[in-house]
Structures are given as structure tokens and as C-alpha cells.
Chain A
């Protein structure tokens, strides 16, 4: 079994699976049970300033979308930061960390955007024994209306300013948690780096309305007839999060900035994907909220089996492995030709590939009288839609047409050499250059 020990910005944990700052980490009771279940670390539920705690709504906090079999795909929430007294949280953090010295305990913070507030909170958490802080510049609802959370995370100058205060008043490693509710995630990441952040974590939740009550005509979750946008998370947001992680990892400005990957991690595979795209570790919220703390055990066994299969002895060998292969569209090889191929033994003749290709793609699938489906190589553009809609895994595959072979669609031989858009004759800039 591969060694999953992870070291992230100097913080050690027995595995790279941390619970993200959220309800699973809101109190000692939860965190102790999480550690017993095997989680490598936690980012404690975000703390606010000293004084009367925030209050949450007393109606529903969550909305959701589901897939087949009511599998939870996306969750949205309008919960605020911790609504328990600061003192209670600090006492509990200290007690947990004392009993679990090998686990990572990070404190998430969100206080008003002034130097004094940050200095004060950093002072208050100093003797908890926590391993680091995470600055919550991400939550998109409620706190943002009060000038905190994503209201800070959307302004790179504020990120830089607050981060530099934190580095000035604390010796703890500092992670800046980014909001995805921006246009270019590299900008806030660069600001965090300028401010002295040791790492960024992303993504926090995405502005969303999950559904509308069609009897009351109000967004869900509905509180006394009204609703507000919430923060979206869970499996549905993973693709968005993966892209944002990759953007930071491959940008020259932030290439060396450690990343804690968050957003829809549900299985070991999701975690491995984040790590391959440059995340040093991952944080999980919705999967734990859906299935309980035990899910981490599958993540641990799955990642370690995978690493064994790949001959990796440390998670650092996985981190960033896919980053060099993330590129811009213009550098994709236009001379790489594939065709869909249907495995007739696996095919159950549902006809979904046919409906998809015939109605919405390239009319490249033929259906016979007796429901045999075959791809017409002279029409197939290799869009992959049939693969995506086929209910049987690996029934349709994309087969490469080797260099030198005929591409029946174009009537031309597949070129030997790599050729991308920048080199393509149809590219207007080449056209001009030629003239």
C-alpha cells in the first residue's frame, strides 16, 4: 500500500484528504469523528470576529439537484460562517489538535476588511496549536453583502492587502481560499501571491439558484416565500474547479504557488485528477455531507492502489503530472484523426448514439432494420457525442486513424506530422503572412 503521507506548505498529514471548511468541521464532535474515520486534516469552519456570533436562517439552508436514482449531484447553501461563539471554537480547536497532533488543523477566517480586525483575530488564535490559517475570500452569499467573503475575493487589491496583514501579524502558513465567481481566476491567485500567501485553495462555492418552486414562484431553498442565491458545490462543480486549478498551475506567474484543490471531490479518482492538475492536496465537503465521514476510506484505498499500479511512492510524484498537457486550443494537433467504433458485442441496441448523431451531430451512424448500429467513417467527425450518450461503458471508443491511412471523411491521408491552428492555412494570420 502506497504511502499517502502528504506535506503541504510544510504542514504534514497522513493523507492528502482534508475536510473543507464547512458544516463537517464546525465543531469538536464532528472533527474528532472525522479523524477517527481517517481524514488527514480539517479546515475548521470559518471563524468570525469576537462578539455576538452571526445568525443563520431558521428555514432551509440547502437546495440540490439530483441525477438518476436521486443521486445528489449539486448542493447549494445559504449558510453563513460559524454561528457559535469564538471562544468555544478556539477551545475546541486546541483540544482536538492536542489529541491528534499528526493531523492537520487549519483555521479558516473571515473578519471585516480592516487591519485591526485581522490583527485581533490572528492574535486570538495564536495559541490554539493550529497548523495554519485559510482566508475565506470565497463565500458568495450573506457575508459578501457585508463586505466580506467573495466581496473581498473579487477585488485582487483587497486580497493582496489582507494577505499581507496576515503575513505581517502571524507566523502561521497562510492559504488564501479563492472564489470562482470571477472571470479570470489567475488574477486573485496572483494577488494572493503578491500578498505573501503560502498557497491558494479553490474553489469556494458558485453563485447559484438550484430550482424554483413552481407553486409559490420562489427560488429554492425558500424561506417564507423568498429565496436568495446560494453557493453551489458537489460533483456538478468539479469540472469548473479542475479548470481553475489548472489555469493557476500552468500560468507562469503562479506555477510555483501551492494549491489545495476543492470542488466536487467525491472519490479517489476525483482527488487524483485534482492532484494531477497541480493540487498538492484536496479538500472535501459535499461528499462527506452526502455519505458521511466514512467516504474517506474509499479515497484512501483507491488512491493508494492507483499509486501502487503506477509505481508511485509519494503523492508528490502525482502532483502536477498532467499540467504540461494542459494547453491552449490553438496548439492541439489538427492532424490527429479518430473515428468512433462500436463494439457490437457490448452494444445493447438502445439507439441513443443514433438519435444523438442523427438529430444533433453529423448523421454518421447507420441503423439497420434489425437494430445494428455502425459508424460511417466517411461522415464521422469524431465529436465523441455518441461515446458520451451511450449507456454502456467502453462500448463506443474513439479509434485513431494512423498517419498515412485514408481519412474517409476528407478523402485525404492522415499527415505524419503534428499540425496545429497556428500553422493551418485557414488561419487568417497565416493567410496575411502569405500575402
Chain B
């Protein structure tokens, strides 16, 4: 090993290979059969269950947990997947602590919810391990639908449409499917190449063709798609990133957090991924936390996450903040970036402290930094889109846009949180609406 935690600059191989394996292993190890039974036994099979109401995809949680408890995890998986075809990924990445598990009555009773996410993973993993795809297609309708974007929204939409008997073509600008499941989600939430495996499993339904390297503005136009297909679904996420707009932002070593994460997710060998010694992440959401934590796990010596508002305003959940803290990330709040300092490459970054109303206090602080990650939000990219308001494609009902024959869902569309599960729900619901429109 040539470098270690103290090596200055942006270098790879700060940690021995075995430490990297350990650091990037499953955040929540899967439940074994016994653990799953014990966890399932805790569910009260609530009437009109609050957990189910809190799930953006309305999974019948009490039913699937009871199916696990009675020794039929495959049936449980089917209950999950009927509502949420990416139930496997959602089991790994959903912030359950702010969704189903937050409202679980056993959280109310004992401060310890039923482990819904882990149980969901147990069921879906069991089914997927058997190689079974439990859904079949309805008789062919002869209708063709184009889906733009192979992220959670697009995949969910495509699967539901295919199951109805429509022929679907998915176009994605990237060389791989999965969207942020493949390029964005933290590595320790989706180990063993799960995102790719899940896409392969999903496509087993048939009737879906995926064309990579083709995107709106990159060889495709919405006009043409509208002409060639009976309907179009846009699930293009938020491909652009917000800029800091401070002096020195263009210096070497200042990167978009999403690019760093994508590089890390695509790396075959983590010991080849370079990371700074002193890393500063700017932002307060899930992306910021993921970048900071993974920088630390790669062996960065000092990682600071700096957010311009108070802790309570951070988009990252309490669980995510705690994860960052336990991994050794220093969280600094109420500090706004002022300037990136350095000679060619970043050396320091200056912040000014702010009060809760984001008013400058005049007090500043400089942090040593050989690498800065910007995680202050993504933005919609592309021209000729349907009407957009506040940075998102305006939708009404189940994803209907301002253009006839064009639906949208997921991060690119208005309404709902920017979460995998929300994207799945919106893709599915749009598919049902498209199906209704095409059947009319």
C-alpha cells in the first residue's frame, strides 16, 4: 500500500482492501429465517394499518408480514411486488424511519417498530433468489409506449405497462439501467450489484426493450416519440446539479457529489477510487450524507459536512445524520460557503456563519480541504419538455403533463418526495392511467 489516511491530496488506496470490504458491506445485514420469524411475530396485523397508509406504494404490510410468519415468504414477496415492483431496492433504501416504521404502532407502544424494511427485504430476497418472476403479461394490445429514463419511475411504469400487454421501449441516456439505484444510492445500501440484478429480474416479464445511450436531446426528441408511440412516459430524474455560485468554484478538487458517488458505485475495485485527505461536503440532504459517509469509509482523514441552516432543517433524516456522526463525519451547521481558496487546486474553503434566517453574522471560518463535494441539489435538465414549474414537470392526476399523450413521474415530476419509493409509485400509477387511456 502506497498511501494511508495521512497522505496529502486526492489519492486512492488509503485503506487496506479488507477494511474497504468491511466498510462497504451491507448497512443492514439481511435477516436469516429465524430472525425473520421473530421480527414477523411482533406485527399486530393492525386494522387499516397505519404503516400501510404511510407507504407511498401502499404495500399491504400486515398481510405480507403474516405471510412471512406463516412460512410463505414467496407469497409475501408477491404481495409486496404487486404494489411495488422495486420492493427489493425499496427494502434497502427507503427511509423507513420517516415512513412506515415511524407510524408503526409498536413504535408508539415500545419505541421499537416492527422491522418492516428488513422483513420486506427478507421476502423479496427469498423470491428473487429462487429466480422466479411471479408476473405474466396480459394478451398483447398492439400498443406501443416509450419510457424515457430507466430509473425507478421508468422501470416501474414499464413493468406495469408490459404486464397489461403493451410493448414498451425504454430509452436511457446512460449506458446502464437503474437510474440512481445504479449510480446514486450509497454503496452500503445496495451491495452485490443488486441494482443491476433487480433490473434483469424485472425485465423477465418480457415486452420491454431497453435502448441505452439514447436520451432526449441526445438523439431523441419528444415530438418524434409522440409521433412514433401511442404514449410517452418521462422518468428522467434530475440530471443537472445546482452550482454554489462562489469564487473559486472551478478550482481542481471541487466536484459534484453525485459524480463522486457514481464513480464509486461503478468502481470494480474500491482501492482504485481516489479520495482527499481533508474532505468538505456542502449540503444537508441524503446526497450530502452519502458522499460524506462514503468519503470517510474510503479512508479520508477528516470529513466535514457543512450545511447552511440548522440541524432540524436538514433534509437528511435523524437516522442518516446519526449514521454520519457514528462513521466519524463532523457535522457543521449554520455555515454558508463564501469562497474556495487555493492555487489551481482547492486548499481551503471559507464559510460564514449564519443565523436561522440565513442572515450573515460576519464571522467566518476556514476549513482545510483538498476535496470539496457539492451536494446542494439536482435540477431538471432538457429542453422541449412539457410545462415546468418550480423546476419540475407539472403533473396532475396520475402523472399527466401539459402535453397530451405524455406522462411524467419520479424526481422530474412535481409532487411527492424525491425518493425511490415515490418514483416507483408514480411510475406505476402513470402506467395505470396510460393503460386506461389506451384502452378507452
Contacts and interface: CB of A to CB of B under 8 A. Distances in A.
Interface of A: 68-70, 348-352, 354-355, 367, 371, 391-392
Contact of A354 (B42, B44, B47, B50): B47
B105 A349 contact: yes
Residue with the highest number of chain A CB atoms closer than 10 Å, among B38, B44, B47:
B47
B37 A350 contact: no
B41 A392 contact: no
Contacts of B109: 348, 391-392
Interface in B63-111: 105-106, 108-109
A69 B47 CA distance: 22
B50 A371 contact: yes
Contacts of B108: 348-349
Contacts of B47: 350-352, 354-355, 367
Given A348-B105, A349-B50, A391 B38 contact: no
Contacts of A391: 44, 109
B319 interface: no
Contacts of B45: 352
B48 interface: yes
Nearest to A395: B109
A418 to B, nearest CB: 38
Contacts of B41: 68-69
B46 interface: yes
Given A391-B109, A392-B109, A351 B37 contact: no
A268 to B, nearest CB: 26
Given A391-B109, A392-B109, A351 B38 contact: no
A355 to B, nearest CB: 4
B38 A350 contact: no
Residue with the highest number of chain A CB atoms closer than 10 Å, among B41, B42, B105:
B105
A351 B46 CA distance: 6
Contacts of A68: 41-42
Contacts of B48: 351, 367, 371
Contacts of A69: 38, 41
Interface string B35-59: 0011001101111111000000000
A348 B113 CA distance: 12
Nearest to B42: A68
18 contacts: A348-B105, A348-B106, A348-B108, A348-B109, A349-B105, A349-B108, A350-B44, A350-B46, A350-B47, A351-B46, A351-B49, A352-B44, A352-B45, A355-B47, A367-B47, A367-B48, A371-B48, A392-B109
Interface of B: 37-38, 41-42, 44-50, 105-106, 108-109
Contacts of B106: 348
Nearest to B41: A68
Contacts of B42: 68
A403 to B, nearest CB: 35
Given A348-B108, A349-B108, A392-B109, A70 B46 contact: no
Given A70-B38, A367-B47, 19 more contacts: A69-B41, A348-B106, A348-B109, A349-B50, A349-B105, A349-B108, A350-B46, A350-B47, A351-B46, A351-B47, A351-B48, A351-B49, A352-B44, A352-B45, A352-B46, A352-B47, A354-B47, A367-B48, A371-B50
A187 to B, nearest CB: 41
A69 B45 CA distance: 15
B119 to A, nearest CB: 15
B68 to A, nearest CB: 13
A367 B49 CA distance: 13
Contacts of B105: 348-350
A67 to B, nearest CB: 9
A392 B47 CA distance: 15
A348 B112 CA distance: 13
Nearest to A71: B41
Nearest to A346: B109
Contacts of B46: 350-352
Nearest to A358: B47
A69 B37 CA distance: 8
A366 to B, nearest CB: 13
In the complex, the 10 A-B pairs of residues with the closest C-beta atoms, listed nearest first = A351-B47, A355-B47, A68-B41, A348-B105, A348-B108, A350-B105, A350-B46, A348-B109, A350-B44, A351-B46
Contacts of B44: 350, 352, 391
Nearest to B109: A348
Contacts of B37: 70
A352 B108 CA distance: 15
Contacts of A351: 46-49
Contacts of A371: 48, 50
Nearest to B53: A371
Contacts of A348: 105-106, 108-109
A332 B276 CA distance: 81
Residue with the highest number of chain A CB atoms closer than 10 Å, among B42, B45, B46:
B46
A350 B114 CA distance: 13
Nearest to A69: B41
A392 B108 CA distance: 11
A355 B48 CA distance: 9
Nearest to A356: B47
Nearest to A353: B47
A70 B108 CA distance: 24
A104 B354 CA distance: 81
A352 B50 CA distance: 12
Residue with the highest number of chain B CB atoms closer than 10 Å, among A69, A349, A354, A392:
A349
Contacts of A355: 47
A164 B39 CA distance: 56
Contacts of A354: 47
Nearest to B45: A352
Contacts of A392: 109
A379 to B, nearest CB: 17
A239 B118 CA distance: 38
Nearest to A389: B44
A348 B106 CA distance: 8
Nearest to B34: A70
A164 B46 CA distance: 58
B294 to A, nearest CB: 38
Contacts of A350: 44, 46-47, 105
A289 B108 CA distance: 36
A360 to B, nearest CB: 12
A69 B105 CA distance: 18
B34 to A, nearest CB: 9
Residue with the highest number of chain B CB atoms closer than 10 Å, among A349, A350, A391:
A350
A367 B47 CA distance: 10
A193 B66 CA distance: 51
A387 B207 CA distance: 53
B37 to A, nearest CB: 7
A351 B53 CA distance: 13
A367 B105 CA distance: 16
Nearest to B110: A348
B111 to A, nearest CB: 11
A69 B36 CA distance: 11
A14 to B, nearest CB: 38
